[in-house]
């Protein structure tokens, strides 16, 4: 199956996860894609194909050489972000993109313009897969699944390319921070792995945010507004005070590179009660702890002012994988060399986010992140250049070949 057709087939299957669910997977619809990929794996001729009750799918491409070669793995995730609908996704291909505005939806007058998204201009002359403006696309991470499956088919079709045993794994609920929760590292059995979950072509990442979630409940005191003096405590105003205690210039829209942030995800409520949800992020572990301390102190300050009306639930989600990958830098060397050999310039940079690989690295499976090719994830302006999709799959094949030949070049 052509990689573009494979991706579009996957993209049309709704797999949106739900952070309010306590089940694994958080939505049963993720099984719809999992079963499709499971069937493909069996028909392709992969072995040890297993889909468990929690929607974790694993399979094996057996080695085709008697050489003693480390077992490596490639991982992607089934779910799409809860940030925007993944139902009735209608991808289309813009052929030979000309660098101008792209009309995504004529009826709704939704336009994707390089004036707003200048990265489009990096892909002039390429075919680009876009949405119809009413849903996300799902390249995060259905592109990764398509790339892995296409690479496995290519290796099966080209037995002249020597490779060791390769394990592939697909997870649910990555977008809500649970993708590694029930991943069986021992069963996977790889020495190391790569998540195919990055963005722009050439990205190679082994540093990510340290991450925490913060949920705050505020109990107000509602009194008739005509008689509220010295009695009413408006939970919405208290919520605004909490937001104001956090640094205004340390939000996602004002930070980049290694800069961390506080991100307000949701605010719901009335005078009587309100709920806020934040995520807290920083690459530096010490600064990460300082951010959490500021969140705690801010809540305590308002509790002193209003009489213990705020409840904070602060949970660590994942940590920076750098400390687990750096002792095994050959893992990065193989990926970097593979990119170079297929004509892609590696861009080693920190992830301003997280992947399953971050947590898996702390579970004993070093697992950096490789580009999947999509851009503008989680929204209606998401797009996927076809050459980037194809190159990512080529990188997987080349890594397998280089590992079989022990061909990583040392980096100073």
Here the CATH number for the domain that contains residue 283 is 3.30.70.360
Q: Please give the Cα distance from 290 to 260 (Å, whole number).
A: 11
Orientation angle between helical segments 139-157 and 3-11, nearest 10 degrees? 140
For the chain, give the mean pLDDT.
Answer: 95
Q: Please give the Cα distance from 153 to 147 (Å, whole number).
A: 10
Query: Is 411 inside any structural domain?
Result: no
Contact 150, 386 (CB under 8 A): no
pLDDT band for position 351 (cuts 50, 70, 90): confident
- Residue bearing tokens 């929607």: 55
Q: Encode pLDDT of 112-140 as tens digits.
A: 999 999 999 999 999 999 999 999 999 99
238 HSE (CA, 13 A, CB side): 34
Query: In 10 A of CB 47, how many CB atoms?
Result: 11
Supply the CATH number for residue 76's domain.
3.40.630.10
Q: Is the pLDDT of residue 18 over 90?
A: yes
On whether both 325 and 345 belong to a single domain, the answer is yes
Threshold 0.75, pTM exceeds = yes
On whether both 186 and 243 belong to a single domain, the answer is no
- Domain residues for 261? 210-318
Q: How many domains does the chain have?
A: 2
On whether both 82 and 160 belong to a single domain, the answer is yes
Length in residues, the chain: 412
pLDDT of residue 411: 41
On whether both 375 and 305 belong to a single domain, the answer is no
Q: Encode pLDDT of 281-338 as tens digits.
A: 999 999 999 999 999 999 999 999 999 999 999 999 889 999 999 999 999 999 999 9
Q: Is the pLDDT of residue 346 over 80?
A: yes
Q: Please give the Cα distance from 153 to 176 (Å, whole number).
A: 30
pLDDT of residue 408: 52
Query: Is 312 inside any structural domain?
Result: yes
Beta bridge partners of 77: 171
On whether both 203 and 217 belong to a single domain, the answer is no
On whether both 14 and 120 belong to a single domain, the answer is yes
On whether both 78 and 131 belong to a single domain, the answer is yes
Query: Is 410 inside any structural domain?
Result: no
Contact 15, 86 (CB under 8 A): yes
- Cβ-Cβ contacts under 8 Å for 387 (sequence gap 6 or more): 123, 126, 127, 201
Q: Is the pLDDT of residue 110 over 60?
A: yes
Catalytic residues: 79, 174
On whether both 21 and 154 belong to a single domain, the answer is yes
pLDDT band for position 229 (cuts 50, 70, 90): very high
On whether both 9 and 154 belong to a single domain, the answer is yes
Domain end point (choices 318, 346, 364): 318
Domain end point (choices 258, 292, 318): 318
Query: Is 221 inside any structural domain?
Result: yes
On whether both 111 and 12 belong to a single domain, the answer is yes
On whether both 10 and 107 belong to a single domain, the answer is yes
Query: In 10 A of CB 90, how many CB atoms?
Result: 15
DSSP single-letter state for residue 408: P
pLDDT of residue 355: 80
Residue in 340, 348, 377, 393 with CA at minimum distance from that of residue 119: 377
Question: β-strands 72-77, 192-198: how paired?
Answer: parallel
State mean pLDDT over 395-405.
97
Q: Encode pLDDT of 182-225 as tens digits.
A: 999 999 999 999 999 999 999 999 999 999 999 999 999 999 99
The 3-state DSSP class for residue 211 equals strand
On whether both 41 and 129 belong to a single domain, the answer is yes
Q: Is the pLDDT of residue 409 over 60?
A: no
């Amino acid at each position: 199956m052509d990689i573009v057709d494979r991706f579009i087939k996957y993209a049309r299957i709704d797999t949106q996860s739900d952070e309010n669910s306590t089940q694994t997977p958080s939505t049963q619809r993720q099984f719809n894609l999992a079963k499709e990929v499971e069937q493909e794996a069996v028909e392709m001729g992969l072995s040890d194909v297993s889909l468990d009750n929690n929607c974790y799918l694993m399979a094996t491409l057996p080695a085709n050489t008697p050489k003693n070669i480390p077992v490596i793995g490639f991982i992607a995730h089934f779910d799409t972000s809860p940030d925007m609908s993944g139902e009735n996704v209608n991808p289309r291909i813009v052929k030979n993109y000309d660098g101008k505005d792209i009309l995504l939806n004529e009826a709704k007058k939704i336009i994707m313009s390089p004036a707003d998204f200048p990265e489009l201009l990096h892909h002039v002359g390429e075919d680009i897969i876009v949405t119809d403006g009413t849903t996300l696309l799902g390249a995060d991470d259905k592109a990764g699944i398509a790339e892995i499956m296409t690479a496995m088919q290519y290796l099966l079709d080209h037995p002249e390319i020597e490779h060791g045993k390769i394990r592939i794994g697909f997870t649910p609920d990555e977008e809500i921070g649970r993708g590694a929760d029930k991943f069986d590292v021992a069963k996977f059995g790889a020495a190391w792995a790569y998540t195919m979950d990055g963005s722009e072509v050439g990205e190679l990442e082994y540093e990510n945010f340290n991450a925490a979630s913060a949920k705050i409940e505020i109990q107000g005191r509602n009194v008739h507004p005509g008689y509220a003096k010295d009695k009413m405590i408006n939970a919405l105003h208290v919520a605004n005070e909490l937001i104001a205690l956090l640094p205004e210039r340390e939000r996602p829209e004002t930070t980049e590179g290694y800069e961390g942030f506080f991100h307000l995800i949701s605010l719901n409520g009335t005078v009587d009660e309100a709920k806020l949800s934040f995520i807290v992020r920083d690459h530096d572990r010490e600064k990460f702890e300082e951010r959490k301390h500021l969140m705690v102190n801010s809540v305590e300050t308002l509790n002193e002012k209003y009489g213990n009306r705020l409840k904070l639930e602060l949970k660590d989600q994942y940590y920076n994988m750098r400390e687990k990958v750096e002792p095994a830098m050959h893992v990065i060397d193989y990926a970097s060399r593979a990119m170079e050999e297929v004509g892609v310039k590696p861009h080693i940079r920190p992830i301003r986010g997280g992947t399953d690989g971050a947590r898996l690295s702390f579970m004993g499976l070093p697992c950096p992140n490789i580009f999947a090719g999509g851009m503008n994830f989680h929204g209606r302006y998401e797009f996927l250049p076809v050459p980037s999709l194809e190159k990512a799959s080529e990188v997987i094949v080349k890594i397998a070949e280089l590992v079989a030949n022990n061909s990583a070049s040392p980096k100073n």
